[in-house]
Structure 1
Amino acid sequence: MTYVASPSHSIGDIARAEDLKQCLETARKHLNETSRASDTERQHELVSSAVDAGWEEDEVRAAIASAYAEPAHDESLKPTLGVVPSSSV
């Protein structure tokens, strides 16, 4: 079982989500360095460890899902090297 720190804020406290994020990041780094398990197995262990530490399963799964979510696609960040706006032709 991987160590995950216990919550230091009560449910509903805004700081709780940030604490959980930090705890999961630390535990995930440790698992990635020490475990040869699959990603699915490591994620299951991370959830189990966090729940054993006192976190709510729903909040843990939501935090993990948001950590793996892809950033929003921003059209303004498209590469434009060599592209000339039609108004300047």
Structure 2
Amino acid sequence: MISGERSTSHQTWPTAFTGQTAMTHDVINQYDVNVINQTIVNDINQIIVNVLNQIIINVFNPIIVNVINQIIVALSTKLSSTLSTK
């Protein structure tokens, strides 16, 4: 690198261009960081949604189905006993 130049991860900027060009490069870097952060957030959100879906499917669904089945059995037992007494 020549003395007076600014080194970045993509390119070396001459001193004459370190004003606006360097700032633009920083904005691009910030954009990259924002995109990466958003990607990480989206991935974490997707993992959380998947885990919650599995909990609902594996834990709550059987409980709900069991409760509904018990209600149906109780109602049909009540209905059959009511019909048999008539």
**How high is the TM-score relative to the length of structure 1?**
0.31
Q: Which has the higher strand share?
A: 2
| Larger Rg, first or second structure (1 or 2) | 2
Q: Which has the higher helix share?
A: 2
Question: Which has the higher relative contact order, 1 or 2, with Cα contacts under 8 A spaced 6 or more apart?
Answer: 1
